[in-house]
Amino acid sequence: MAATESYIEGAPPGAFAPQRGTRPMSRLTTVLGATGLLGGAICQRLTAAGRPVRALVRPTSDPARRQRLERLGVDLWPGDLKEPPSLRAVCQGAQAVISTATCMLSRQAGDSIQSVDLEGQRALIEAARSAGVEHFVFISFVPLQERFPLQEAKRVVEQELMRSGIPCHTILRSGFFTEVWLGPALGFDPENARARIYGTGLGRLNWISFEDVAKFAVGALEHPRARNTILELGGEEALSQLEMVRLLEGLDGRDWVLDRIPEQVLRSRFKEATEPRQQSFAALVLNVARGCLTDPGPALQAIPIQLTRVSDPARWARRNDDARKEG
């Protein structure tokens, strides 16, 4: 198969040969999803901590993101979650695997919740088990309302990981990322004092920075209480969309323009969606509209980190500066 051959070509010699009994290279961590938001931050923290890092990267991944990983000293291995031989190769010799990968924002041919988030992650668990990986960290999300394909895939993969026979697993069920859901791509735009408000805007959420999720993921490899457990992640402050708007209005002195989408409209979008990714996105938006509370206490006890405060004025000032520079 042409696609597989190109992976073999790019992999170090012998990478695809079964190497049972190979001793894991000291602390080598393989990251899946490294060209994404969270995976990139995890690679940055792992390399800063002096861990050798290997990442599975697709030929189609954003070149700028690949280069950033190379500059960090990450060893890039070609592959795809839909190509099991590449997963076996990238797991060989690794002590730990961290998987953040998801197809939700991907537009590559053949990517779907079924092929990537479900079958791809299952194949990765099997590859990690047969390669003798000691610790597998899987990024999932907190239990959400409604049945939808992405949530079903995450729960199946969690179950398989727990039963896999890999000596140690950590399942990190995160809440909603601040930078994504309170960011311009989803209509929350501090630079232009404008926000899309999903539902009434009154439901509270424990928004969490992806940087904090990265701290938890890396910390999971070190802290004994993070072994063989499920940890729910969220920020310590629970604030509604409207509370966030009021807070930022207070900081920049402008009245924001609000574009409201009633919950009823969001519910119809969810019910009418037929494509699994579209339906999953609609379900996620509905959960933001209703609010979603998470207690980060147990996770902080297992992995003590300093959480970012979503209300911290400095973080929003920094973000506006960054947006102006990019603009």
Ligand X SMILES: NC(=O)c1ccc[n+]([C@@H]2O[C@H](COP(=O)([O-])OP(=O)(O)OC[C@H]3O[C@@H](n4cnc5c(N)ncnc54)[C@H](OP(=O)(O)O)[C@@H]3O)[C@@H](O)[C@H]2O)c1
Which residues form the interface with ligand X (CB under 6 A)?
32-39, 56, 58, 60-62, 80-82, 100-106, 111, 116, 120, 139, 141, 174, 176-177, 180-181
**CB of residue 16 to ligand X, shortest distance in Å:** 17
List CB contacts of 326: < 8 A, sequence separation 6 or more. Answer: none
Closer by beta carbon to ligand X, 22 or else 60: 60
**CB of residue 245 to ligand X, shortest distance in Å:** 19
C-alpha distances in Å from residue 118, one per residue of 81, 121, 186? 10, 6, 25
Closer by beta carbon to ligand X, 57 or else 248: 57
Closer by beta carbon to ligand X, 206 or else 253: 206
Measured CA to CA, the distance from residue 106 to residue 114 in angstroms comes to 13
In the block, residue with structure tokens 């960090």: 72
**CB of residue 22 to ligand X, shortest distance in Å:** 23
Q: In the structure encoding, which two tokens stand for residue 319, read together? A: 């973000």
User: What is the residue type of 74?
Assistant: V
C-beta separation of 129 from 164 below 8 A: yes
**Residue whose CB is nearest to ligand X in the complex, by number:** 36
Helices assigned H by DSSP within 142-231: 149-163, 178-181, 210-220
Closer by beta carbon to ligand X, 22 or else 59: 59
| DSSP three-state, residue 136 | strand
**CB of residue 125 to ligand X, shortest distance in Å:** 14
Measured CA to CA, the distance from residue 107 to residue 319 in angstroms comes to 27
Q: Which helix (H) or strand (E) holds 314?
A: helix 313-326
**CB of residue 247 to ligand X, shortest distance in Å:** 20
List CB contacts of 147: < 8 A, sequence separation 6 or more. Answer: none
Closer by beta carbon to ligand X, 133 or else 217: 217
Closer by beta carbon to ligand X, 95 or else 174: 174
**CB of residue 173 to ligand X, shortest distance in Å:** 8
Q: In the structure encoding, which two tokens stand for residue 304, read together? A: 């003590």
**CB of residue 26 to ligand X, shortest distance in Å:** 25
Residue 175 CB: number of other CB atoms within 10 A? 24
In the block, residue with structure tokens 């890092």: 53
Q: Which helix (H) or strand (E) holds 301?
A: helix 297-302
Closer by beta carbon to ligand X, 80 or else 212: 80
